Structure 1
Amino acid sequence: MAPSAVTDDYYAVLGVARTADAETLKVAWRRLARIKHPDKNLGNPNATAEFQLLESAYSTLCNPTLRRAYDLQSMTTPTSNGSTTGAKCHNNTSTTSNDSSEQKNRERELKRSHLYKEKQSKEYDIFEAMRNLNRIRGEIQKLDEDAKRDTAEELSWWGYFSFMMPGSQQQREEKSRERDRRRLDRIAAKRIKEKELKRQTDKVTLLELLSKGTQDEIDKITLEINKWKEEKAAAWRREAQRQQEEYARREKARREEEEAEAVRRASEWEAWRRKVEETSRLFQERQRTQRKKDEAASCTHRGWWKKVDGPHLCSNCSTRTNRFALQCPQCGKTACASCRKAIQAAGQTDKIPRPKVETSYETWYD
């Protein structure tokens, strides 16, 4: 059942070209259904109506019969957005021109239909006239055959013998008059038939000329109708190509937008990742620094301090040593030999000191 009225451009609703196939329609419908579903647009009061329009567009275009009826109906019916499915009406002038062209073509179709009926009537009249013409020719041929038969009978030996048979003179004269009367009747009938034959011949010729004229007029109107249909088909192809190009342009713009969005998201993700890595690095560095501080604050500086060759700066007295320095095995603190004892003594104020072992440059506490 065809749509009762075209109020929306279903191709524009689905965002596809007029030449889109069934698979393209399904893909477009699924994509838009996920976007326009009322459950995902709770803040839009028109969400239900838009979704119903989408369903109506897909159910119409996915059915070949309904789609064909919709295309035929929407060729001249303007949609709600001021366009037609077959040809976009950009202004009132083009709409009026399309309506006028459609009206003229309908008048041509009606006139051609009447001419077809008129031609059929003339062909029937020609058939009847030809039948009468053949009948008259047959009657004339029969009269000629009767005349030939009478002439042959008179010239035969039996005619001569019959004429010379004994009988009254009155009977012979009566037979002679009868033959003359039949001959005159045949001549008169033949003349009448020949006149009727000429009249029927002229009638057939006239009917044939009229039929030919009607056929020429039908051919002329058919040529105009075919030309109009070709122009309409060309306009439809141009519009379909324009819609396809427009659809390709929109698809290209959409892909470019999606690619730009993907690049932007990737850039944001990379910036966020770098920020997280930097924050993690700073956090770990602060933890290491704090841990070292905590270890240095809680370190008792016990154990064997390792000798480190080379110039160093004492962390206690800030004196620069030229030959070597001593380094705490627990916290890694460096100090000169003089400050090492003070640092160890300060770290063991709360502990019981153990016996000292003197060396040439340091003291060991167990």
Structure 2
Amino acid sequence: MAPTEILHDYYAILEVTETASEAEIRSNYKRLAKIRHPDKNGNNPDATAQFQLLQAAYTTLIEPASRHFYNFHHYPSIRPKRKDTTNAGGNPTSTSCAAEEPGDSAGDTGDAQKYACEIQRLDQKDKELRQEKSELSGRLFELKRALQRCIAALDKLQEEAEKDEQEDAARNTRYGHFFGAALSAEEKEAKSRRTTERNTGRIVREAELKRFQASADKIQSRIDDLRVEIIQTVVDRLLAERAQAREQARQKQAAREAAAQRARQEKESARRREEGPAKREAEAERRREQDLREYLERVRKEAAARKAKATEEMRKKEKARKEYLKRQEAEKEAKKQREVENKRKQDEDLKGDLEQKEPPAKGNGTGKEEEHPPAKPESIRCGHGKNWGAVRILST
């Protein structure tokens, strides 16, 4: 699967600038997806990885929250690394979260170190969530391709079944019965075998279709959950950064107050001067945090709505499928009844034709009807004669 390492330049992968709009990002993604699709690059062993990396870049930059997080935290360190090499270990340096020895300035540095460790933990969590999301997106892509193949196979089986039904219908007509070539025993056996194989194939394909659809729905649900978790991680990291910034500002303020040794009046004046902006900044900070919480809640509701909509659509599809199967059964039964009725009418027509063509028998001259015993089986040329009663012949 394609990695979602934060060292990738997603703007370069999508061939857009840093100020590109969502429309430009979407347009370039569609264009590049057609070019880099694995089906069109069968000779390239890295085609799948490159395509999934393209998907990861699109997923990150198309969402405003994840794009802001990427621009603010990762992209500044990625730009110089296009030309420069990484550090000696090949990995970016990170803040160590090892426990510090108690003592010197433990109260001053403890909170700042705690926030730094929390930010590092959230970065790692975000990386893992995006990795999982990318892997699931790749699996979902393959499942959708498998679903398309199953649907195509079922359509082909349906076409073959309809073709056989049309041939049977043509053979069972009046003219087909008398002038059409009858099926030999080998042909009947081959036809029966094809029907059995087709029914078996349909059962197998329908089972695969249900299994693939269930897996795709499960993966899509997990991707939706991961999207919410990623946004939550981004929000938590932003909040941790702001808390860290506030703590650092507090420490600097305390250091300035301890070093200044100013008079009470000067300190009070400085406090009054800083109180107004600090209050406004705190209020602005509170509003920003509230906006972030509201945005997260809205995203959660949208994800729940999408999940409910998908469930409802699946229910409707299943209902429509059952109704379709029921209609098919009704149509088959009606067709069978029509064929029986047509057969009966054909028999009656043939019987009437034969009765009209029968020559009058010579009578005994009395003008009375004369009953004759039923004809012998060998004297009946018409195949329907065995079903008739005694023949009454008027004497001339």
**Bin for the TM-score computed over the shorter chain:** 0.3 to 0.5
* TM-score normalized with structure 1 length: 0.38
Q: Which has the larger radius of gyration?
A: 1
Q: Compare the two structures and name the one with the higher helix fraction.
A: 2
* TM-score normalized with structure 2 length: 0.35
